[in-house]
Structure formats: C-alpha cells, structure tokens
C-alpha cells in the first residue's frame, strides 16, 4: 500500500510504524497493557484507511471512464480483463481502440486476450485480424493464433487448404507439450484427409 501511495499519490509516510510490527504491539497491549506504541498503530491504520478510500476512488474512475484516466497499455489491458469477466463487450472494444493509439501498445499476451474477447462477442473478423498479426511472432501466443485460424478456416469458411497451412505453422511456434502436439497432429491428419477427399472428387 505504501508503494501505491508513493506511485499514485506522491504521498510519503514519515515516522510510520512498519505494518509487520503492528501485531506485536497489539499482543503487548493484551499481555501487559503496554500502550506506548498504540498511538503509532492507530496513525498507521488511519493512513491505510484514507489511502484505500483514494485508491477505491481511482479504480472507480478508471472503470467508469472506460480507461480514460489510464495512461499505460498494461493498465488498459488489465481493465479490459475486468470488463471481460463481466461480459461488458462494448467496453472491451473501447479499451482496445485506446490501446491501438499507443506505439507497440500490444504485448502478444494482450493481443491474444483481445482476440479471444472479440471472438466471444461474435466479432470474429476483428479476432482474425489480430490472430494474423500474431502468427509471425513465433511465440506461445503465435501457436494459439495459428490454432484459432486453423479452426476458423476449417469450420467457418470450409477452406481446408488454409486451415492445414495454419495447423502446420503451429508446429513451428516453439516448444509444444506432448498433449498439444498429439492434438495438433490429429488436426493435421484430419485436414489432410479432407483435402485428399476433395482432390479425389
């Protein structure tokens, strides 16, 4: 909490009793009626309560303004994850548009998060745009972007050739667990059979 006070409010406590000492002061009061440090404990608690009030207000403003009070992409990403838990899809899109205004505002993890949020909101075209930017990253997020695109081309567009291309690209995205590799190989095998069947017809 003291770190938040300094970073968010430029408030520095002076002569404040450390929080880890508060229990010992309390037990001294219980066992020996020792009150010499109790005033410091009450002052420490007063700081905590006042700071939590201002912190709660700051969080409320960020939520209600849809990130308008936030200046860092990481904070906006965190806010969008909160909106996602509440299924507030319109607000997620507004936060996404704000993050796009930053140079290099999207980490691969944040981009994948937004793509999944758009997918849940039935905005699949926006998801596809994001996945396509991720496939070149060669990261764990790239793997999942390839899988999502393979599913999209196979099940929605019935474009088995592109689906197979993305499924095979997923295998080039770094280390993959045995379980994921098994599922990926099954996908590749299924898509290959579908393409061969079309070729025979």
pLDDT (tens digit per residue) in 109-133? 999 999 999 999 999 999 999 999 9
pLDDT value, residue 201: 60
Instruction: State the pLDDT at residue 15.
Output: 86
Choose among 198, 191, 144, 195: nearest CA to 170.
144
3-state secondary structure of 91: helix
Average pLDDT, the chain: 92
Burial (CB count within 10 angstroms: exposed 0-12, middle 13-18, buried 19+), residue 68: exposed
Distance of CA 118 to the CA centre of its chain: 14
Q: What is the pTM of this model?
A: 0.77
Position 22 confidence tier, pLDDT thresholds 50, 70, 90? very high
Q: Cα–Cα distance between 4 and 68 in angstroms, integer? A: 20
Q: What is the mean pLDDT of residues 79-86?
A: 93
Spatial distance between the Cα atoms of 91 and 81, rounded to a whole number of angstroms: 11
If one counts every other C-beta atom within 10 angstroms of the C-beta of residue 124, the result is 15
Rounded to the nearest angstrom, the gap between the alpha carbon of residue 111 and the centroid of all alpha carbons in its chain is: 9
Using one digit for the tens of pLDDT, what is the confidence trace for 141-172? 999 999 999 999 999 999 999 999 999 999 88
């Amino acid at each position: 909490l003291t770190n938040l006070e300094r970073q968010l409010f430029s408030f520095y406590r002076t002569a404040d009793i450390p929080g880890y000492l508060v229990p010992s002061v309390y037990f001294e009061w219980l066992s020996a009626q020792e009150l010499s440090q109790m005033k410091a404990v009450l002052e420490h608690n007063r700081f905590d309560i006042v700071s939590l009030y201002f912190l709660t207000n700051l969080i409320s403003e960020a939520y209600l303004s849809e990130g308008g009070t936030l200046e860092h992409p990481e904070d906006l990403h965190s806010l969008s994850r909160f909106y996602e838990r509440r299924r507030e899809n319109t607000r997620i899109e507004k936060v996404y548009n704000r993050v796009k205004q930053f140079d290099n505002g999207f980490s691969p993890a944040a981009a994948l998060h937004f793509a999944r949020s758009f997918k849940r909101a039935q905005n699949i075209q926006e998801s596809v745009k994001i996945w396509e930017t991720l496939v070149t990253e060669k990261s764990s997020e790239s793997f999942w972007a390839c899988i999502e695109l393979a599913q999209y081309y196979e099940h929605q567009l019935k474009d088995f050739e592109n689906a197979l291309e993305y499924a095979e690209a997923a295998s080039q995205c770094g280390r993959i667990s045995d379980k994921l590799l098994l599922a990926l190989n099954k996908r590749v095998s299924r898509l290959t059979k579908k393409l061969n069947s079309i070729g025979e017809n």
